């Protein structure tokens, strides 16, 4: 049947057998890179797309260490489309839109992948922009079982550290801590007693990925600093490099 | 066993993770056995083993299922309770003689229950997640059970326990799926 919405008509012709070219919205954290790995299993990931907000309170984009996404892109052997954003509530959506347009022009993306887990705010806005641009939108972690997801992340060999904490009861020792099985056990305890989301989807903590199964090299941190006060802190990576795995 | 049907353009696609896996999880949490299957692989045999069927949604840009109505002809004959979600409601609407029109809703919308059915007796109005570019503009003989400001949100077949919901109950409204599963044993029409 004919699609009554002409914008959708073009993408109806999507060839069922051909892998779709996708760009992955990448903050440097575990969710976007796990989603990237999942997308690589199903389609063709042609680039990472990073929005670098100047504002650490960005509504849409996770902030700590997003400046190191270029190292992750290099480790994954993927081109990176990078957009600077003032990180203010309304303009950052326009910046995201520009990033997706650029990714389509430069890398021919047909769709976008995000690491959204539960955020209707984030998913709604990205879905709307993709719809306006005639791009597919995939959220492979959407409403995933959070405990199974974290276990799967570790089983698949992702090396992840905690790059920011923003809620009680996270103390300074979490900054730079590897997200391993013992950390997950403690996070489960925090979920029971403090009501945090296991994956940090509520902004309780942020992460940075040092290694992923699809990286050909891993990231080694040479120098970092921490800044912590009242259950709020950042682990800032000052110098890092790629090394052989 | 609850048959959960993937309506995405390709079996095992990325869309499965987003639109089928969350429904499978709700069915499992509700204590039912579940069998996910792609819509092109449905057979009489798998339908005969099912106690109820859920037709899942698809990515916003995925409308391939609408090009293949023959794959859903079994809906006309089935005696099973069926819940169609978004794409699933679009299929139910077209299979039973209704028609679709362009209508885009993305994000949270207020749904107002206007009809009388046990499935929606718990709430008269609720906020629901929408992700569609079509809506059912002519439901033909299907009863309308709920609406939003923009479009029909819930339909029911006049004689069979076949429901379509335009919103995505897996986001913040698990109770719709749970209530459907609870009632599915009572709904079932004995041969």
Whether the per-residue pLDDT at A37 is higher than 60: the answer is yes
B12 part of contact set with chain A, CB < 8 Å? yes
CA distances from A122 to A137, A183, A209, A227, B76 (A): 12, 26, 21, 27, 39
Closest to A190 (Cα-Cα) out of A167, A173, A207:
A167
Question: What is the rounded average pLDDT of the residues B162-183?
Answer: 96
Provide the 8-state DSSP code for A66: G
pLDDT of residue B108: 97
Q: Do B12 and A42 touch (CB under 8 A)?
A: yes
ipTM: 0.94
Average pLDDT over residues B155-164: 96
Higher pLDDT, B120 or B92: B92
- The CATH architecture that domain A6-244 belongs to is 3-Layer(aba) Sandwich (3.40)
Average pLDDT over residues B79-108: 97
The mean of the pLDDT values for chain A is 89
Residue A86 has pLDDT above 90, yes or no: no
Rounded CA-CA distance B171/A72 in Å is 32
Determine the length of chain B.
Answer: 191
Question: At residue B74, does pLDDT exceed 50?
Answer: yes
Strand partners, A136: A111
| C-alpha closest to that of A2 among B10, B99, B11 | B99
> Given A4, A39, A134, which is nearest B101 (Cβ)?
A4
Question: Which residue, A191, A160, A188, A187, is CA-closest to A176?
Answer: A160
CA-based nearest residue to A36, from A101, A111, A126, A97: A111
d(CA A172, CA B97): 63
B99 closest CA partner among B55, B71, B136, B52? B136
The verdict on A140 touching B (C-beta cutoff 8 Å) is: yes
Structure tokens at B77: 């004959």
Kindly identify which residue of chain B lies nearest to residue A111, measuring between CA atoms.
B61
Asked if pLDDT for residue A75 goes beyond 90, the answer is yes
Task: Give the model's pLDDT for residue B156.
Answer: 97
User: Could you tell me if A9 lies within 8 Å of chain B, comparing CB atoms?
Assistant: no
Task: Give the model's pLDDT for residue B188.
Answer: 57
- Which residues of B are identified as catalytic? 86, 168, 170
HSE, CB side, 13 Å, CA atoms: give it for residue A60: 26
CA distance B115 to B106: 24
A168 CA: distance to closest CA in chain B (Å): 25
Report the phi/psi class of residue A142: left, alpha or beta, with left for phi > 0 and alpha for psi in -120 to 50.
beta
Point out the least confidently predicted range of A105-114, A162-171, B158-167, B177-186.
B177-186
Tokens standing for residue A223: 């120098």
For the ranges A29-38, B60-69, B114-123, B127-136, the lowest mean pLDDT is seen at B114-123
Q: What is the pLDDT of residue A64?
A: 61
pLDDT computed for residue A84 by the predictor: 85
Coil/strand/helix, residue A94: helix
Report d(CA B137, CA B151) in Å as an integer: 7
Q: Are B21 and A144 in contact (CB under 8 A)?
A: yes
pLDDT for A76 equals: 98
Furthest CA-CA distance within chain A: 59
Q: How far apart are CA B11 and CA A62, in angstroms?
A: 32
Q: What is the mean pLDDT of residues A159-183?
A: 96
- Residue A19 has what DSSP assignment? P
B79 token code pair? 């005696």
- pLDDT value for B170: 97
Cβ burial, residue B137 (10 Å; 0-12/13-18/19+)? middle
Chosen for mutation from B9, B14, B22, B38 (greatest number of chain A CBs closer than 10 Å) is B14
| Lowest mean pLDDT, pick from A90-99, A109-118, A179-188, A234-243 | A90-99
Q: Render chain B in DSSP notation, one character per residue.
A: -EEEEE-SSSTT-HHHHHHTHHHHHHHHHTT--EEEEEGGG--HHHHHT-SEEEE----TT--GGGG-GGGGTHHHH--S-EEEETHHHHHHHHHTT-EEEEEEEEEEEEEEE-S--GGGSS-SEEEEEEEEEEEEEE-TTPEEEEE-SSSEEEEE-SSSSEEEESSBTTTT-HHHHHHHHHHHHHHPPP-
3 state SS of A97: helix
CA–CA dist A233, A215 (Å, integer):
28
Shortest distance, CA B118 to any CA of chain A (angstroms): 27
Contact at CB, A143 and B170, closer than 8 angstroms: yes
**Unique residue bearing structure tokens 């709920």:** B146
Peptide bond connecting A169 to the previous residue in cis, omega within 30 degrees of 0: yes
**CA angle (B166 as vertex; B161, B171 as ends), nearest 5:** 105
pLDDT band at A220 (very low <50, low <70, confident <90, very high): very high
The pLDDT tens digits of the residues spanning A128-166 come to: 999 999 999 999 999 999 999 999 999 999 999 999 999
Q: What is the pLDDT at residue A7?
A: 39
Q: Give the mean pLDDT of A55-68.
A: 63
| pLDDT of B126 higher than 50 | yes
**Contacting residues of B for A12, CB less than 8 Å apart:** 63-64, 67
What is the per-residue pLDDT across B37-73, written as a single tens digit (0 to 9) for each? 999 999 999 999 999 999 999 999 999 999 999 999 9
Average pLDDT of the residues in A69-74: 96
- C-alpha to C-alpha distances, A231 to A18, A58, A188, A225, B63, nearest whole angstrom: 48, 18, 18, 17, 47
- Residue A12 is predicted with a pLDDT of 41
Domains in chain B: boundaries: 2-187
Q: Enter the DSSP assignment of A56.
A: T
- Please compute, for residue B68, the number of CA atoms within 13 A of its CA located in the half-sphere on the CB side: 19
pLDDT at position A10 is 40
The answer to whether residue A8 scores a pLDDT higher than 50 is: no
pTM of the model: 0.92
Q: At the top level of CATH, which class does the domain B2-187 belong to? A: alpha beta
A5 with B18: Cβ contact below 8 A: no
């Amino acid at each position: 049947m004919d699609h009554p919405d002409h914008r959708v008509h073009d993408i109806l012709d999507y060839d069922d057998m051909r892998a779709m070219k996708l760009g992955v919205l990448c903050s440097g954290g575990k969710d976007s890179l796990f989603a990237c790995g999942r997308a690589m299993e199903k389609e063709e990931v042609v680039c990472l797309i990073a929005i670098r907000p100047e504002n650490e309170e960005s509504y849409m984009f996770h902030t700590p260490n997003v400046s190191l996404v270029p190292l992750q892109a290099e480790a994954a052997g993927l081109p990176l489309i990078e957009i600077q954003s003032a990180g203010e509530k309304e303009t950052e959506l326009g910046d995201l839109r520009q990033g997706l347009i650029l990714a389509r022009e430069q890398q021919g993306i047909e769709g976008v992948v995000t690491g959204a887990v539960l955020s209707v705010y984030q998913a709604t806005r990205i879905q709307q922009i993709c719809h306006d641009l005639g791009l597919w939108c995939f959220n492979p972690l959407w409403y995933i079982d959070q405990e199974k997801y974290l276990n799967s992340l570790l089983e698949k060999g992702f090396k992840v550290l905690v790059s920011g904490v923003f809620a009680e009861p996270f103390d300074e020792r979490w900054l730079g801590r590897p997200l391993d099985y013992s950390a997950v056990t403690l996070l489960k305890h925090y979920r029971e007693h403090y009501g945090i989301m296991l994956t940090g989807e509520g902004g309780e903590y942020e992460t940075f990925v040092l290694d992923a199964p699809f990286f050909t090299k891993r990231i080694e941190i040479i120098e970092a600093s921490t800044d912590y006060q009242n259950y709020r802190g950042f682990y800032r990576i000052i110098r890092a490099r790629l090394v052989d795995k | 066993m609850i048959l959960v049907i993937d309506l995405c353009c390709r079996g095992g696609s990325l869309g499965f993770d987003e639109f089928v896996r969350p429904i499978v999880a709700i069915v499992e949490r509700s204590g039912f056995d579940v069998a996910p299957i792609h819509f092109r692989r449905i057979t009489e045999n798998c339908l005969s083993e099912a106690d109820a069927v859920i037709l899942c949604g698809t990515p916003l840009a995925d409308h391939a299922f609408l090009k293949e109505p023959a794959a859903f002809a079994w809906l006309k004959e089935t005696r099973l309770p069926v819940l169609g979600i978004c794409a699933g409601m679009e299929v139910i609407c077209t299979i039973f003689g209704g028609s679709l029109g362009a209508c885009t809703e993305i994000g949270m919308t207020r749904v107002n229950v206007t009809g009388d059915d046990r499935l929606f007796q718990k709430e008269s109005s609720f906020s629901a997640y929408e992700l569609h570019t079509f809506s059912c503009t002519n439901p033909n003989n299907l009863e309308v059970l709920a609406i939003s400001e923009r479009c029909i949100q819930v339909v029911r077949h006049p004689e069979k326990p076949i429901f379509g919901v335009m919103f995505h109950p897996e986001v913040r409204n698990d109770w719709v799926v749970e209530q459907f599963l609870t009632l599915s044993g009572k709904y079932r029409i004995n041969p």
